[in-house]
Amino acid sequence: MTLKNEKKLANVDIIQEGLEQLNYIGNQQIATAVFLAYHLEKPILIEGPPGVGKTELAKTVAEMLNLECIRLQCYEGLDESKAIYEWKYGKQLLYTQVLKETLGEILDGAKGLTESVTKLHEFGDIFFSEEFLEPRPLLKALKKEEGCVLLIDEIDKSDHEFESLLLEMLSDFQLSIPEIGTIKANDKRKPLVFLTSNNTREISDALKRRCLHLYIPFPDAALERQIVQARVPEIAENLRNQMVTFIQELRDMDLKKVPAISETIDWARTLILLHTESLDADLVKQTLNVILKFQEDIETVEAELQSVTNKALKENQ
């Protein structure tokens, strides 16, 4: 498999660097996964809690390689007519109407029904050719000559049937359309496939078997500081350290939904808007709704707000 930017995938360090340049800070495992996915021609199944940058990884890789990112958002009831292809019925109908006139000429001289039908057969199934096919994301991704990044987002939200539908695509990079035949990806430039899952249900073994499995956990403090630095460079170092410590503290608490990286970044932006220089309990209380999304959680944290804030301040003096 060769992509036009193959050099950017030559080894793990280069990949990690490339991602970092685009402000995606990740550990070595993430870079290794991208490296293997490209060289072994396998899709990556990314799991992890929400907001750790699963979707972002696919988008960043696409940007890094300068490829189009084709995204398929999964939901309950997603089926092949929305994921793979659909016939352009309107166009088919219109063309039949237009061609009605010429039908006489074609059938000219044919005697009887059998002969007419035989004559019609000579024209083949023009109405079921690629001209009349409306490609949906999966088919589109296969047909990209220059390769692409295909992102199948939140696969766990789709039905079981859809998972099975994906298997052919994921193992052989091909799709079968009954009327036309099998469509294969360009052998040299297969799409780079990312699947993400929030683990609301178990993904079937058949699907897992065909994928590399990458688990992205919450980052540790050092990594999170780097991420905030990369994403919100205008934040002061002192404040950054304080808020990261604060967030890390929260993750240890018993909350319904712990804040993820995306929340940390939102919070950093909020604090900048408010011209904050240092955390204090009042300010945290007012902005708590940026990082916590459940009233119960907010109440739990408010009780211990003072001590957690003090801890964050103390550790980063």
Partner 1 sequence: MDRTLVDFVKVLRTAEIKVSPAETLDAMECMDLVGYENREFLKNSLALVLAKNPEEKEAFEDCFERFFVMDKPAQPGNTSSSEDESGGEDEFDDGDFNAEGESQQSGKGGGQGGGQGAGEQEIDDSVPQLQPTSELGKLLTTGTRTEQTISMMEAGRKVEVSKIVVFTQKGLFTRKIMDAMGLKGLQDEISDLTAHGGPGQRNLSGRLKKSRDLLRERVRDYVEKQFFLHADETGKQLREELLKKVKLSSLEKRNFKDVQEVVFKMAKKLISVHSKRRKTYKRGQLDVRKTLRNNMQYDGMFFNLKWKASKVDRPKVMCICDVSGSVSNYSRFLLMFLYSLAEVLPKVRSFAFSSDLGEVTKLFQHSKLEEAMARTMRDYGNGSTDYGRMLQDFKNHVMDDVDNKTTIIILGDARNNYGDSKSEIVKEMYDKAKRVIWLNPEPKSSWTVGDAEMKKYAPCCHQTEVCNSLVHLERVVSNLLKSVS
Task: Report the nearest approach of partner 1 to the CB of residue 36 (Å).
Answer: 6
Q: Given the complex with partner 1, which of 210 and 240 has the nearer CB atom? A: 210
Distance CA 45, CA 204 (A): 12
Contacts with partner 1 by CB under 8 A lie at 12, 28-29, 32-33, 36, 39-40, 42, 44-45, 47, 89-90, 93, 160, 201-202, 205, 208-209, 212-215
Q: Given the complex with partner 1, which of 39 and 184 has the nearer CB atom? A: 39
Task: Report the nearest approach of partner 1 to the CB of residue 305 (Å).
Answer: 23
CA distances from 298 to 119, 222, 241, 285, 286 (A): 75, 26, 22, 9, 11
Q: Given the complex with partner 1, which of 32 and 270 has the nearer CB atom? A: 32
Distance CA 97, CA 222 (A): 67
Task: Report the nearest approach of partner 1 to the CB of residue 200 (Å).
Answer: 9
Q: Token pair of 66, please?
A: 């300068």
Q: Which helix (H) or strand (E) holds 134?
A: strand 133-135
Amino acid at 185: A
Q: Given the complex with partner 1, which of 148 and 207 has the nearer CB atom? A: 207
Q: Given the complex with partner 1, which of 192 and 228 has the nearer CB atom? A: 192
Task: Report the nearest approach of partner 1 to the CB of residue 198 (Å).
Answer: 13
Task: Report the nearest approach of partner 1 to the CB of residue 209 (Å).
Answer: 6
The DSSP-derived string for 27-54 is -HHHHHHHHHHHHHT--EEEE-STTSSH
Are residues 35 and 222 in contact, defined by beta-carbon separation less than 8 angstroms?
no
Task: Report the nearest approach of partner 1 to the CB of residue 204 (Å).
Answer: 8
Q: Given the complex with partner 1, which of 105 and 205 has the nearer CB atom? A: 205
